Structure 1
């Protein structure tokens, strides 16, 4: 929501996405979240956060860590504020991936965990990133370049549907596409597209039971077993040609393909949507367990 000063035009609001930088407001907002997380009314977690950071992220000797909890917080803070923008995002991912273990507390045979689980933590971080106009969001546990909620849901649904139906190849290809798309500071758009299209190939081949069929052949086999909309099939095969012809992504050996974030994100979302479509249709036709 715009502030009063922004509404009357005294202050010009910031409308620029932060893609290759992190401003003071965003960095401070993230740090304030860490303070709320690791210094709550019941427990202080800073020594364990510092310990994990030293061992697994910063890779420095543990015996050089401060002994007091307060000083451990200062140690983490000074490090956090010294990081380049892309390492800040690396550190956020690290904290998310290790949050549960860092905050687990054992009481005899019982183990207590933080009041925020990992999914809640991701939701709060995404809200901060959105509010402060960051160009990244968490998708499937990875910080990726910004997409709208519908696109995020399409990717998440494809990963979950593939997992439930045992289509592990497709799931891995989609997750790898997201990782390559979110690679910092140099995303790998070319290989993100290759992984996304491979997810569709994997689903089609696994459903038909043919490991050698081309995507065109696999979709023709599927058409004989279940109803596939002709326009959708033709449209996707045209997209497939974009990645497979001599001047396309897969065969561009001598010349760097002119592909960027827009193309890579589009193909990742479209391929995820088509994976969802094939899974639903195949499941309805009784072709999946």
Structure 2
């Protein structure tokens, strides 16, 4: 992880979460933690570092130095972990706008990094169109089940230390099943027949219908295809990425036609 990338991301964190570090008296002496910095560091020490809050430095300036040292010296996946933790915690008290993830993405793009924020999750996707589909499925989606499955698929796929491509694919498939269930109002339990009814009800273009049927071949249990996919020994990053992006786009489309047609 190049220093220029760390520096850019650190500056974004400072601006959004680690500003107004200390309260000072009339002559400029530090008297304690700033209100926002106190709240943020409390969460970081307790939930991220998983240490007693008593171990947080008494001086807010030392606490800031501790965070900086962690971010610049630890492996990239730990630095990204802190970044993602802050993104998931939402906007700080000092900011109404919650564009922290998008500001980080500008730095990722500038430095040509392999990760981007999709919603509040760091994913190993750089193409803007692909990223948009995953982000929409995770955040701007009326189906809670689709959100949950895509978010989990993204986490498993993008885990920097131990990615789990097999279970990421399973979660992506489950998102499609959840989307079909959302559109039809039927309980999940395979989607082949419900999908055909959706295609007939909404008069999908033949090319779309053909494409969806081919995509579903990966997630279908017909003819043992799904079982064979899950038993494949050498599932790769590309397999999990394809399923994450394709199933996100497929789920988004199904949900959108439900909203459009009612």
Q: Does 1:115 align with 2:95?
A: yes
Residue 123 of structure 2 aligns to a residue in which SS? strand
Task: Quote the offset at 1:278 in angstroms.
Answer: 2.2
When residues 115 and 248 of structure 1 are mapped into structure 2, their CA distance, relative to the original with a 3 A threshold, is same
Could you tell me which residue of structure 2 aligns to residue 19 of structure 1? none
Gaps of 5+ in 1: 1-21, 104-112
How do 1:253-272 and structure 2 match up within 5 A? Answer: 255-256=232-233, 258-272=234-248
Q: Is the 1:205–1:211 contact (alpha carbons within 8 Å) kept by the matching residues of 2?
A: yes
Match of 2:51 among 56, 60, 64: 60
What TM-score does the superposition give when structure 1 sets the normalisation length?
0.74
When residues 97 and 169 of structure 1 are mapped into structure 2, their CA distance, relative to the original with a 3 A threshold, is closer
Task: Quote the offset at 1:48 in angstroms.
Answer: 4.1
Q: How many residues are matched?
A: 249
Could you tell me which residue of structure 2 aligns to residue 70 of structure 1? 61
Q: Is the 1:46–1:70 contact (alpha carbons within 8 Å) kept by the matching residues of 2?
A: no
Match of 1:279 among 255, 258, 261: 255
Residue 95 of structure 2 aligns to a residue in which SS? coil
Q: Is the 1:29–1:128 contact (alpha carbons within 8 Å) kept by the matching residues of 2?
A: yes
Q: Is the 1:208–1:222 contact (alpha carbons within 8 Å) kept by the matching residues of 2?
A: yes
Could you tell me which residue of structure 1 aligns to residue 29 of structure 2? none
Residue 159 of structure 2 aligns to a residue in which SS? coil
Q: Is the 2:122–2:158 contact (alpha carbons within 8 Å) kept by the matching residues of 1?
A: yes
Which whole-Å deviations, capped at 9, do the CAs of 1:191-221 have from their partners, x for residues lacking one?
2222222222222233233336632211222
User: 2: CA distance between counterparts of 1:79 and 1:87?
Assistant: 8
When residues 248 and 134 of structure 1 are mapped into structure 2, their CA distance, relative to the original with a 3 A threshold, is farther
User: 2: CA distance between counterparts of 1:151 and 1:140?
Assistant: 13
Gaps of 5+ in 2: 24-33
Q: Does 1:197 align with 2:188?
A: no
When residues 162 and 90 of structure 1 are mapped into structure 2, their CA distance, relative to the original with a 3 A threshold, is same
Match of 1:208 among 158, 170, 184: 184
Q: Does 1:126 align with 2:105?
A: yes
When residues 232 and 69 of structure 1 are mapped into structure 2, their CA distance, relative to the original with a 3 A threshold, is same
Deviating above 6 A after TM superposition, structure 1's stretches of 4 or more consecutive aligned residues are none
Task: Quote the offset at 1:144 in angstroms.
Answer: 0.5
What TM-score does the superposition give when structure 2 sets the normalisation length?
0.81
Residue 235 of structure 2 aligns to a residue in which SS? coil
Residue 190 of structure 1 aligns to a residue in which SS? helix
Larger mean CA deviation between 230-239 and 134-143 belongs to 230-239
